[in-house]
Structure 1
């Protein structure tokens, strides 16, 4: 049997049994290919279960993959009401775990992938490279090691385990690691009595400007109005200024629940449950005499002490186990080069990300695809529908159905926000043009730095999100 024939008989290894990894497996089955899903956690959807308390802003109708639904149908699975909004726990219990069960022994849990390469070829060697199958190294929970050969590899491992730090430079702030006992990089589950007690009556800084930060601010505001939450207060730390895009698209968002998150964060500030600090890039985390945390800006500003810090500054991909493969990644986003321009938050324009498939996700190393959140690198705002279309296209391409793989049929809901997100610099202050899709900026109270006798003087920009 030659190398090509033997490779075709091998499985397609899918790394990660989350929503996109399991959808990839279902799509591969539909195409008549053999998937093998390797999941580091002890159960399918292990990462999703860690944010089981957070509600999705996409309804059930948009978070179930069509091929997965076909695979589930013979099991008696009943699709949840499409108009409802599942929590992470709902998604895992009522869809992802049943899907993993339907896939059976095609899913292996407790299998951590530690490296991927070509059999007998390191990154340098050209000779006969593409004819060699992939070799996937993994470690089991008992510490034993194993090698698995694959005809192709789909990396759907996500970015959940590699959150970005508080430091404004992309590196941990000075003192951030030593203050780990007071810092979390996840939205706290305030239903848990122990977690609730940690934040109740406390002053908590929330660093970040996306949907997770909105959620944390809203949850803290709810805690502040409860019987056991008197004295709870949030300090919202933003690296940029306040503009019309700060709170997302609001009522203009075609995903109403996503727009509502931003409005809930605005309400937390408007109702006095949180203050906003703008243009603040954390350079250090210090402790005061009472062991409370003091955030120090790169510009020397010092904020009043807080009891806890919630860092929600996004995630980044772990590429270490792919180091022996030849990937073509954008130097900024760490996303596939052909995809990066479509998702770059510095350039994003009105509307939404253009649907994409196997061609945009290809690399110089044929047969390796990064999908799901990992395909976005450091870019934010990924939708499950996007990932489902990615893996549908890739599965069709692997099966040799190029026409189907190239036919991208997906319309994504618009955010109601246009222009760059201002991740690198605060937005400009000129007025938006008439007819702009940008909403007017809300008026927010500004929190005075610890050493300043007056509030911050940076004005909120009424426009700027549209560029020029």
Structure 2
């Protein structure tokens, strides 16, 4: 079989993966989307209650919309803001349905390799096709592919509570009382878990801000609810974002709401706290910092410290990744929060995302590694360029067809579409710069207890 007749495998039926499939069809190429979940947008559905920062008009890929048009699909109000559930149900699932058999659910990709070659072998890497190893309910499968576009995201790999990037001592043992996503407090069972209790929230990105707003509202309705907010950075600084200067108004508004929530009296803020241990006591969980500072016991801990890519199943293909961000090396200088404290991320495509392994591309959140800055618009531009490159249209692959909004904020607040994707990345100012140098743990607003 000629390699050009083989499908292009897309890993993940999220917004970027499905957009990649639409662009492949538009180019006359055969897509095959492999999704581990049972529905399109499986990860998006897990933060169904969170509203995006971008409007509907900014989270629908133009080529995907063209594919949907003949079905009678009606685009939602372009100026309204969808929740995760609405994005999944009203756009991602209809798009996957149009793609039909090109999307396979419950198909977990566990490996990608060059056919007949392990990582060490040089010969044939530019001539043999790729093989994708998949686990399905019907057993293991091997799929031969012309190219692989990894749009699997990072949602399944949240960062731990431990301040050194590894789980804190006792963190795994206390797993039943630790959550790694923004709780849906509209769910009665989830609400009961936190109502009237002391809760620690760790993180400084938009996930954490979203949680602070939700918990502040819960505290008003359920007396006794109190949050200890933990920041690794030495000062609150620009944690609440750019406010009215943010070109994504909903994101700026979230920061203002979170700032207001932190001042009401139900939230105590502890800065410069890097967790090293979680101790289970009769009074609850006691968090201990690297310098021995111990917090009062809490009943629950919510860890919202960002995400990281799962690279384990790419171990047999040759990757060139930045050693710090774990993003494609050529992309890293554009998104590194240790370097870029303000402004926007420039549009980029196949040139920055290509790997030494021919035909392998990391796109979407996966391409950003541990960096905390991503918009759906960025991902749509990525796959437009990548698919053009796979199709051999190098002029289109090099062309930039996107203008991104400015962040209106320094540091690690990021440019995510959804608050759920926030990060506690230590941005440029965290060790100096605009956020201030870290100090020992400092508690703010103790009188509010």
TM-score > 0.5 by shorter chain: yes
The question of 1:380 aligning with 2:390 is answered no
The Cα of 1:415 is off from its aligned counterpart by 1.2
Q: Tell me the residue number matched to 1:172.
A: 167
The Cα of 1:251 is off from its aligned counterpart by 1.1
- Distance in 1 between the 2:324 and 2:434 partners? 29
The question of 1:135 aligning with 2:131 is answered yes
Matches within 5 A, 1:161-200: 161-200=156-195
- Distance in 2 between the 1:381 and 1:263 partners? 19
Q: Answer whether contact 1:243 1:427 (CA < 8 A) is retained.
A: no
The Cα of 1:116 is off from its aligned counterpart by 0.2
Matches within 5 A, 1:20-419: 20-142=16-138, 144-226=139-221, 229-290=222-283, 292-418=284-410
Larger deviation, residues 165-174 vs 422-431: 422-431
Q: For structure 2, which runs of at least 5 residues remain unmatched after alignment? A: 414-424, 437-441
- Distance in 1 between the 2:432 and 2:84 partners? 38
- Distance in 1 between the 2:24 and 2:281 partners? 56
Structure with higher RCO (Cα < 8 A, 6+ apart): 2
* Secondary structure class of the residue paired with 1:364: coil
Q: Tell me the residue number matched to 1:461.
A: none
- Distance in 2 between the 1:49 and 1:430 partners? 37
- Distance in 1 between the 2:333 and 2:137 partners? 39
The Cα of 1:431 is off from its aligned counterpart by 8.5
The Cα of 1:240 is off from its aligned counterpart by 0.3
**CA displacement 1:20-62 (0-9 Å, x = unmatched):** 0000000111111110000000111111111101111111011
Q: Answer whether contact 1:240 1:425 (CA < 8 A) is retained.
A: no
Residue of structure 1 aligned with 2:426, choices 423, 426, 447: 423
The Cα of 1:242 is off from its aligned counterpart by 2.4
The Cα of 1:126 is off from its aligned counterpart by 0.8
The Cα of 1:141 is off from its aligned counterpart by 2.6
Q: Answer whether contact 1:241 1:426 (CA < 8 A) is retained.
A: no
The TM-score with structure 2 as length reference comes to: 0.93
Q: Tell me the residue number matched to 2:420.
A: none
Q: Answer whether contact 1:347 1:420 (CA < 8 A) is retained.
A: no
Q: 1:243 to 1:206 in 2, by over 3 A?
A: closer
* Secondary structure class of the residue paired with 1:131: coil
The Cα of 1:429 is off from its aligned counterpart by 7.0
Q: Answer whether contact 2:411 2:434 (CA < 8 A) is retained.
A: no
- Distance in 1 between the 2:199 and 2:445 partners? 13
How large is the Cα RMSD of the aligned pairs? Answer: 1.9
* Secondary structure class of the residue paired with 2:43: helix
- Distance in 1 between the 2:70 and 2:20 partners? 19
Q: Answer whether contact 2:411 2:429 (CA < 8 A) is retained.
A: no
Moved over 6 A (4+): 428-432
Q: Answer whether contact 2:132 2:144 (CA < 8 A) is retained.
A: yes
The TM-score with structure 1 as length reference comes to: 0.89
The Cα of 1:287 is off from its aligned counterpart by 1.6
* Secondary structure class of the residue paired with 1:138: strand
- Distance in 2 between the 1:426 and 1:408 partners? 30
Q: For structure 1, which runs of at least 5 residues remain unmatched after alignment? A: 433-437, 439-443, 449-453, 456-468
The Cα of 1:350 is off from its aligned counterpart by 2.5
Bigger radius of gyration: 1
Q: Tell me the residue number matched to 1:435.
A: none
Q: Answer whether contact 2:51 2:82 (CA < 8 A) is retained.
A: yes
- Distance in 1 between the 2:412 and 2:306 partners? 16
- Distance in 2 between the 1:431 and 1:92 partners? 37
- Distance in 2 between the 1:445 and 1:265 partners? 18
Q: Answer whether contact 2:411 2:428 (CA < 8 A) is retained.
A: no
